[in-house]
Amino acid sequence: MNFKNKVVWITGASSGIGKELAIALKSQGAKLILSSRKREKLYQLKQALKTDPINTHILSLDLTDKQTLALKSEEAWRIYGYIDILIHCGGISQRSLGLETSLEVEQQILDTNYWGTVILSKNIIPRMIENGSGHVVIISSLMGKFGTQYRTSYAASKHALHGYFDSLRCEVYDKGIDISIICPGFVNTDITKNSLTANGEKYERSDDFQLNGISPKECALQILKAIEKKKEEVIIAGKEKWGVILKRFFPAYFSKMIRKRKVI
């Protein structure tokens, strides 16, 4: 893979897959813009990268603060004067029953996972088109392909990403813009611990599926291979990936099966 001197903006870069993508890309000589709400953790990552500070910039943002995202996009673009790759890693999961989850929590999940991603893209892609090229990468989930208990709003946000960016790809395919949707399964990160419960509190627990998932480093490397090959959609998962096949060809069986699965 060759990302040398590529300008890459990563949201959700302070932990998990986003952090590992930053580490891997920096080792290949990329120029980074690192974003998340956790400014201190971003600076800790920058220090750990031990890199020329000119080629790694911190741009903290909150994906739920929709009024600020256009300005953040402008600021990101001005850093280097262009962006080659925008990787949307920022996101939050859910561990609560749909009928028990407050509308405020559901809105927070949709704002973080869907609207923040859409708003940043709508501000960056036109600039990429003016430059003649660009690549937008959406880190979705297997929950973008099917749903389970305790993930109503999370699954909805990921399904929405697929619908929006599949459609957008059709609109910009002839303008030099590539769009990749990445669907990880279980990855051993803190996403479960940081999931929102019905009242908005953090779940603060991990589950066996997450703990036994692939490492975020391995996931990041597979994502970079998909970016290099300009794949439109890639599933990165263990045996849970078969759920996509079952859902497509045997939907009734899949529904019965998934109702019985322990997912919390």
- Going from the N-terminus, what domains does the chain have, and what CATH number goes with each? 7-239 (3.40.50.720)
In this predicted model, what pLDDT tens digit does every residue of 130-171 receive, in sequence order?
999 999 999 999 999 999 999 999 999 999 999 999 999 999
Positions marked active-site: 154
pTM: 0.96
Beta bridge mates, 183: 235
**What was the pLDDT predicted at 54?**
85
**What was the pLDDT predicted at 109?**
98
- Scanning the chain, the segments in alpha helix (DSSP H) are 16-27, 39-49, 69-80, 103-110, 116-131, 152-172, 208-211, 216-228, 242-249, 251-260
- Does pLDDT of 100 surpass 90? yes
In this predicted model, what pLDDT tens digit does every residue of 22-78 receive, in sequence order?
999 999 999 999 999 999 999 999 999 987 778 999 999 999 999 999 999 999 999
| Residue 187 near residue 219 (C-beta atoms within 8 A) | yes
Q: How confident is the model at residue 239 (pLDDT cuts 50, 70, 90)?
A: very high
**What was the pLDDT predicted at 208?**
87
